[in-house]
Amino acid sequence: MLALLFCLANGDTVTALKTTPLNAAHYALGARMVDFGGWDMPLHYGSQLEEHHAVRHASGMFDVAHMSVVDLHGARTRDFLRTLLANDVAKLKTPGKALYSCMLNETGGVIDDLIVYFVAEGRFRLVVNAATTDKDLAWLQRHAPAFGVEVRHRTDLGILAVQGPQARAKVLALLPSELASAAAELAPFNAAWSGERFVARTGYTGEDGFELMLPNAELEPIWKKLLAAGVAPCGLGARDTLRLEAGMNLYGQDMDESTTPLETGLAWTVVIDATRDFFGKNALLNLPPTRHALGLILSDRGVMRGHQVVMTAHGAGEITSGGFGPTLERSIALARVPLAVVPGDQVSVEVRGKNLRARAVKPPFVRNGKVLVNV
């Protein structure tokens, strides 16, 4: 079933939302579907709260096939990525090893945040955000010819994330034996593959698990098998509360081309040394940040949301992502605040015309099922 978005500008224009290979499976489960950046995606399957807790305590699965797999081929692909990424792929020495990085423009702004996997010398794989796919591909293709790199957008592959303390065991039981054996030995931020089946021990929830990159036709069969094995289907709502508790940035909210990694809590992903130049390096060296990212825990009753003003003893800041953290049972947020603000400082947040008390903390709030901050 294709969901349709009716555009009223001309009275009769109808534009189909993009769908993943799991679209019919979502409707079959009665998911509440929403337009997510032009994609027909599940918000939840009945209870966002239950989905959140399923991932923290057992296992849940997310359709992330709207995100894009991009394969890079060519003898100088490593040099290409050392120029394009703020993190340094020179760290990737073992096939399957992964690296998180930002891809910057000339002024140090974040074009996208992504994961890069080392497959073999001359072969790397990127996973990029859905909303930035078109501009990412344009940027890659603009600079690839100088390095003789071929850019392949793998629209034939989709991604399914299975997360939670029981997630790996659930997935391993369903994989072909050879791939299961290799995947069972993976350390975090590593991948194994067999043919076009690619299994990465990565995720966006703060819990252990796998991200499966599979041929599109294989997504629904394994989805159904995981469902039968007791893995909870989870939507965008739970994905957002989980990543917020894990202190993970969301592109378009916590960072974009108007911000640098140094302002968004991602300085640890930037490698600046004399061995290479990369897009944005000079800007980062010459324009030191005046703001940085911290977490907030609300002391008063209420819910913090994006774009609310944060008032501190050192000037104003702004919430970039906020909401209710189900694991902590209170409102939490990520905020961009003056550099002088440090964890432990008391601040106030303007929520619906009221100044509510909050405390600055260092994210993450929750990882691997454990609360890491005092509430």
Angle 195-199-205 from CA coordinates, rounded to 5°: 160
**Which residue among 270, 288, 306 closes a domain?**
288
Same domain membership, residue 278 and residue 296: no
What pLDDT, on the 0 to 100 scale, is given for residue 9? 41
Edge-first strand listing for the sheet containing 110-120 = 98-104, 110-120, 123-128, 68-73, 150-153
Give the list of residues 6+ apart from residue 70 with CB closer than 8 angstroms, or none. Answer: 125, 126, 127, 128, 136, 137, 140, 151, 152, 153, 154
Residue whose tokens read 């454990």: 370
Look at residue 2 in the predicted model and tell me its pLDDT: 36
Domain with residue 231: its CATH number is 3.30.1360.120
342 in the same domain as 223: no
Q: Do 183 and 43 sit in the same domain of this protein?
A: yes
pLDDT at 13 (0 to 100): 54
The residue among 288, 313, 332 that closes a domain is 288
Task: Enter the tokens of residue 182.
Answer: 């290799």
Q: Residue type for 38, please? A: G
Give the model's pLDDT for residue 15: 75
This prediction has a pTM of: 0.95
Q: Count of domains in the chain? A: 2
The C-alpha atoms of residue 201 and residue 196 are separated, in whole angstroms, by 16
Regarding whether 319 and 351 lie in a shared domain, the answer is yes
At residue 249, the pLDDT reads 98
* 241/105 same-domain check: yes
**Cα–Cα distance list, 197 to 158, 179, 183, 256 (Å):** 10, 8, 11, 32
Q: Are residues 192 and 334 in the same domain?
A: no
State the CATH number of the domain containing residue 360. 2.40.30.110
300 and 263 within one domain: no
User: Would you state the pLDDT for residue 1?
Assistant: 36
Same-domain status, 199 and 325:
no
Do residues 5 and 136 both lie within one domain?
yes
Please enumerate in sequence order all residues whose Cβ is within 8 A of that of 142, keeping only pairs 6 or more positions apart, or say none: none
Around Cβ 286, how many Cβ atoms within 10 Å? 8
Q: What is the pLDDT of residue 34?
A: 98
> In terms of domains, do 93 and 129 share one?
yes
Residues 6+ apart with CB under 8 A from 49: 326
How far, in Å, CA of 254 to CA of 264, rounded?
A: 7
- Per-residue tokens: 103: 């891809």
Residues 314 and 226 in one domain: no
Question: Residue 6: its pLDDT value, please?
Answer: 36
- The verdict on 111 and 224 lying in the same domain is yes
Find the domain containing 314 and state its range.
290-375
pLDDT tens-digit profile, the chain (375 residues): 334 333 434 444 557 999 999 999 999 999 999 999 999 999 999 999 999 999 999 999 999 999 999 999 999 999 999 999 999 999 999 999 999 999 999 999 999 999 999 999 999 999 999 999 999 999 999 999 999 999 999 999 999 999 999 999 999 999 999 999 999 999 999 999 999 999 999 999 999 999 999 999 999 999 999 999 999 999 999 999 999 999 999 999 999 999 999 999 999 999 999 999 999 999 999 989 999 999 999 999 999 999 999 999 999 999 999 999 999 999 999 999 999 999 999 999 999 999 999 999 999 999 999 999 998
